[in-house]
Structure 1
Amino acid sequence: MNLKKIMAIFLAFGIAALSVFPADVSVVENPIAPSESDSPAVAFVRKLDAALQTGSVEQALSLFSGMPASLQGDLDLKKLHASLMISAELYGDAKALVSELESKLPNDVEVKEMKMVLAKAEGNSGAKSAALKEIIALDPNNSYANTELAQEQVLKHKYKPAKNYYLKALKGDSKNLDALFGYGQTSYYLNEISAARTAFKKMLEIDPQNAVAYSYIGKIYAEDENYKMAEENVLKAIALDDSNYDFYMDLGTYQRFRGKFKDAEKAWTNAIKINPEYFLAYAYRAGLYDEQNLYDKALEDYRMVVKTNPKYYFAYESLGMLAWRIENYDEAREAFEKAYSYNKTNVSYPLMIAACYYKANKAHLVKPFLAKALKDFTDRNSLDYLMLRLYHDFGPMNAENQIVQKIQQEENKTKKGKMTFYLALYDEIKGRNESSKKLYSEVASLQSPMFFEFRLAEWKVK
């Protein structure tokens, strides 16, 4: 907010001009110290200037209680006072003063902006919307209001209208960093990469120390699979802000694509240090460990994933597999139960749950469980239903033969491989070791398998 009259007052007394916006105090070098010969008004302005230059909102606010009578009616000083109150989160006092200002300056855009900020701080969406409409009516390309309208659209994932609001904001102020970032980000989301790149480079021209701009330029390089340049740019971002979780997540991703697995592990470990309560870095690092056959470490990380985000259902399948690998059948079953709760149509999960019961010497729990699970599979001639029925009944031989025949006739390679695995597992539970080994070997020899049971078969034959 430019307080023109205050600038004029400061300049008239030979004092540096200032500009104030809610929650932001501009700092100007070399304040002029108060002099004993100053009038009360000049002394007040000098003290206020000095307080603002130190960035001390509280000190600046305290001066208003002793403001000379000759300045108490000055509306620009009142606007400054209200702005400082908003910065200090003194919303009640600020609201009263803004209301007074609005009655005297009904068409003042700066007052409307403060009114909007207060409504937003109070969570009053209706008042905020009304204030935004008033601002736009007075100043259609108002940078602050259009940026706020754009951000509302971003929250709704409506990136095209958001981008258009950001463009209006930039018409009002081409150097508005929030609007530039928003325009770049929404362009990136809309796959308008050239526009996004231009916006982020413009940000760096205005603010060479802008870490977020470097991070997005890194993302843009990654879109072209130029992970070397992506890594270089996100490292620049980290050099400017080494406490940003997302920067380390991106860094690890680029390094992983470059085959720098130790570096990727370190990057995601740094992210975990920044926020150990967030799940994503554990999930990424778990996948990295899993790929490198560091199964114990992967298992620990998947445990942390579901601990920090129990709704992240993608992790339960991997957790179940790795727990199964170390014969922790109760943990494996609980993980597959969670996976099953999110996907009732995947026959793998009830079959693995049943197998876990058998392996944990809890066979008496299989029938009650599968009796319920069978209700989700209505085609009684399907391989899914017949395999579930086989695990439920634990036979008989004619049912086994029927399944063997159906597997041999199955044309879908994924379905055939998956059902061969469960037939192998059934034989293993039955104690038919030679038959199960042969079937596991068949599964493990498949090319480009698309089902998780393949890995269980691989572990079995190694």
Structure 2
Amino acid sequence: MALQWDGGPSCYPARSVVHRNRLARETRKMLRLFPDSLDAVPFHLIYSLPMRFAIHLLVVFALFFVFGCATPPEVEPPVPEVPEISDDPDEPDAPVDPVEEAYEAVSLAVMLGKPQEAIEAFEAAQLADPGAPETQVLLAHLYLAAGDLAGAETLLQEVLEANPKDGDALFSLALIAGARGESRQEQRLLEELLEIDPKRPEALAALGEVQLRSRRFDPAERSFLAALDHDPRNSTALLGMGNLALRRSNPSRAEQYLDRAIEAAPDIPRGHADRSRARAIQGKFAAAEADLNRAVELEPDFLWHYYDRGVVRMERNNFAGALDDFNRVIDRDPSLFMAFVYRARAYDQKGEGDLAMADYKTALELRPDYQPALAPLGVLKFEAQQFSEAAERFQAALEKGNPNDPTDYGLLLLTSLSLKMAGEEARARRYLEERGRDFAGSGLYADMARYYANPGSDAFIYRQVTREEDRFTRLRASFYLAGQYEVLGRLDSARALYLDIIDADIRGLMETRLARRRYEQLRGDS
């Protein structure tokens, strides 16, 4: 039989208040530790950041409850007298307090992360007395933990009808409005609450979040700092200040605030994820990866932690680890084109050219306008001696580039060289004629373009290349001259120039990489 309690609020013994307060704490803890119970909530309180930060809002929502839902003042129970132990086995046991037993049942369900069972036990025991707003708010929080926004809202509205200035109810309704994307309603409720209680830190922090989402950075900062004035360990405000510092390109300051946020709330994944960004921007990649490892431990089903960790591992040259992370991301969401781009780079670094090309191709199918993937794919095609396709990729990279960016003369020449390597000499010359104006004022590159168009005597162009003072330009031009030698069948001259470029070993130049590959291929053919 379900436990019953017929008394009103005045009938609660002191220990029942303690049970109620303890249950409130456990409920808020469950909201923090079991955020999956809120999966039904349509969270689109999204910052104007990359998507990997949008779902962190789930944790922020739970965090508000951890610090935001006030409970009735705790009344410490009197020190119990030590009962005398009777020797009479027939003496009846002391009666069980039904309220205490009811709260124990509800607390157990909460601690097990089963909000629906907690609701059923709560209601069966008739603990939610309509005349006691604190129990109504507590029950509303159980509904929220179960993902029932409508049920929670109904209870909270009933509380406000009886007491329009109930701060807990106003705050909870503001959070529900935010979860539904009703930012104006959320802000209105928070401002109404702050008129009643202007020093309430969780309301100030929540208002700062609303202002941050709407990119009102100065008001957001004022709200966060006001919250911290009243509660220096308010993790929502500390996270907000850290995020704000990141937006203002101040990663060092962001890290300081996020250090404090993590100290205040070490089990909130968003704090570790945001601090990893701040650390990565500063080049602290080992520390950034450690933060993301912790975020993964706390929130193993959140794919953006794996994505971010994969990016950091790329920076640390841990390509195998990066592949593990990007594989997981792609398995979960194959629509994320940047995951394919990064995985392609990881495959490329491990010498898996075919797999890298396949991933670049998939990325471009998902996002055809993503210009930065075109030249790397062209390089892979060139290395695989798929010269016609390489030319198409290089040409597309030029056409889709920012018109305000300086012309990449190397890509122009590489497009022409790819066509020459494919045996399309006439098309290569025609391409250079069409792009001739682009070489105006380019010095050695213009000289090389003229030589490509009419590859007769190489005396002039060879002299121009060897006399070039700029080392980078000289080595790049040496590659294009070596390529033309190869087309003309002058393989010894080509190998000699390729070897010079390899010996110079300028990392980051695609011509260095291509020279190494062409030298290996020519040596294998000899």
Fold match, TM over 0.5? yes
Cα deviation digits, residues 103-152 of structure 1 (max 9, x gap): 44333322322332232232223222323332333344433333334445
Deviates more, 1:345-354 or 1:302-311: 302-311
Unaligned runs of 5+ in 2: 1-7, 32-37, 39-61, 67-93, 521-526
* 3-state SS, counterpart of residue 107 of structure 1: coil
C-alpha separation between the residues in 1 aligned to 2:345 and 2:11?
Answer: 62
Aligned runs of 1:116-127 on 2, under 5 Å? 116-127=174-185
In 1, the alpha carbon distance for the partners of 2:327 and 2:103 equals 47
Residues 413-449 of structure 1 deviation map (CA, whole Å, 9 limit, x = unaligned): 3233323322332332233434444443444444646
User: 1:307 maps to what in 2?
Assistant: 362
2-side partners of 1:449 and 1:49: how far apart?
A: 62
Which residue of 487, 492, 511 corresponds with 1:453? 511
Partner in structure 2 of residue 352 of structure 1:
414
Structure with higher RCO (Cα < 8 A, 6+ apart): 2
Which of 424, 443, 462 in structure 1 is aligned with 2:482? Answer: 424
Q: Write out aligned runs for 1:27-426 (5 A).
A: 52=110, 54-61=112-119, 71-152=129-210, 165-184=223-242, 186=244, 191=250, 193=252, 196-197=255-256, 199-200=258-259, 203-204=262-263, 206=264, 264-276=318-330, 277=334, 278=336, 287=345, 294-295=350-351, 297-301=352-356, 303-305=358-360, 307-308=362-363, 310=367, 313-343=371-401, 345-363=407-425, 365-366=427-428, 369-370=431-432, 372-374=434-436, 377=438, 379=440, 382-385=443-446, 387-388=448-449, 391=452, 394-395=453-454, 397=456, 407=465, 410-426=468-484
Q: 1:72 to 1:44 in 2, by over 3 A?
A: farther
Verify the 8 A CA contact 2:378 2:391 in the aligned structure 1. yes
Task: State the Cα deviation string for residues 317-345 of structure 1 (Å, max 9, x = none).
Answer: 33322221121224423432442234262
CA contact (8 A) 1:299 1:319 kept: no
- Asked if 1 retains the 8 angstrom alpha-carbon contact of 2:285 and 2:312, the reply is yes
Return closer, same or farther for 1:106/1:230 CA change in 2, 3 Å cut-off.
closer
Seen in structure 2, the aligned counterparts of structure 1 residues 351 and 120 have a Cα distance that, compared at 3 Å, is: same
Q: Distance in 2 between matches of 1:44 and 1:426?
A: 87
| Residue 8 to residue 225, structure 1, CA distance change in 2 (3 Å) | farther
Q: CA deviation at 1:275?
A: 0.9
1:271: how far off? 0.9
- 1:287-313 C-alpha deviation (Å, 9 max, x unpaired): 56655xx42x15523542552464554
Q: Provide the identity percentage.
A: 21
Q: C-alpha distance in 1, partners of 2:182/2:281?
A: 39
Q: Secondary structure at the match of 1:340?
A: helix
CA positional deviation for 1:453: 1.3
Q: Return the offset for 1:89.
A: 4.0
For residues 234 and 350 of structure 1, do their structure 2 counterparts lie closer, same or farther at Cα, with a shift above 3 Å needed?
same
User: Would the aligned equivalents of 2:391 and 2:419 in 1 still touch at CA under 8 Å?
Assistant: yes
Q: Residues 65 and 203 from structure 1, CA distance in 2 versus in 1: closer, same or farther, beyond 3 angstroms? A: closer
CA shift in 2, pair 1:126/1:320, >3 Å: same
Say if 1:449 and 1:128 are closer, same or farther in 2 by CA, change over 3 A.
Answer: same
Counterpart of 1:359, as a letter, is M
Q: SS of the counterpart of 2:418?
A: helix
Distance 1:212 1:99, change over 3 A: closer
> Alignment partner of 2:19: what SS?
coil
Q: TM-score, normalised to structure 2's length?
A: 0.64
- The letter of the residue matching 1:355 is L
Using the TM superposition, name which of 282-291 and 326-335 deviates more. 282-291
Structure 1 letter corresponding to 2:517: W
Distance 1:184 1:68 in 2: 44
**Within 2, Cα distance between the matches of 1:69 and 1:153?**
38
Instruction: Give the Cα separation in 2 of the matches to 1:9 and 1:388.
Output: 92
Contact 2:110–2:118, Cα closer than 8 Å, also in 1: yes
Corresponding residue SS for 2:165: coil
Please say if residues 306 and 326 of structure 2, whose CA atoms lie closer than 8 Å, have aligned partners that are also in contact.
no
Measure the CA separation in 1 of the matches of 2:115 and 2:301. Answer: 26
Return the alpha-carbon distance in structure 1 between the equivalents of residues 300 and 112 of structure 2: 26
Matching residue within 15, 19, 43 for 1:16: 19
